[in-house]
Amino acid sequence: MPEERRRVSWRDRYPDEVTCVRCLQLRDQVDLDRLLWCTRCRALARNRASWMGWLGGALFGGGVALYIWGVIQPTDLVVGGWIATVVAAVWIGSKVARELVYGVMRIRNVHAAEAMPPDTAQEGPTP
Ligand SMILES: [Zn+2]
């Protein structure tokens, strides 16, 4: 019956079990997103992006701190307010950096990034 025609979606192109491009494990199709990343790999990528984000945030906050102490040179009276500014800079910087890192991971879409081939697992990642 025509009413029962399903909405055509990208999922229709794939069978029920699909290989995740990141870890190369066979996953249920509902676990995969449009880039064929499974839930676990997305979580791993998010986690990694989060660490890189804090690094980026710390660098950004450090830059802001250097600017405040070197250029603005606050008096002791207002130093608390500037510390709050630096903390805010680290926090916002980490969020921005995390989204950037995750976005870059998604765009580059490195295949098999989470996969561990049994024979090369000892050698570590190769460029
Ligand atoms: Zn995966």
In tens, the pLDDT along 16-71 reads: 889 999 999 999 989 999 999 999 999 999 999 999 999 999 999 999 999 999 99
Model's pTM, two decimal places? 0.73
Cα(94)–Cα(5) distance, integer angstroms:
45
Measured in Å, residue 110 CA sits from the centre of ligand 1 at 12
Measured in Å, residue 37 CA sits from the centre of ligand 1 at 5
pLDDT of residue 2: 47
Residues within 5 A (CB) of ion ligand 1: 20, 22-23, 38, 41
Cα(101)–Cα(46) distance, integer angstroms:
9
- What is the amino acid identity at position 115? A
H helices, E strands: number in the chain: 2, 2
Measured in Å, residue 36 CA sits from the centre of ligand 1 at 8
Beta strands in 1-127 (DSSP E): 17-19, 26-28
pLDDT of residue 75: 86
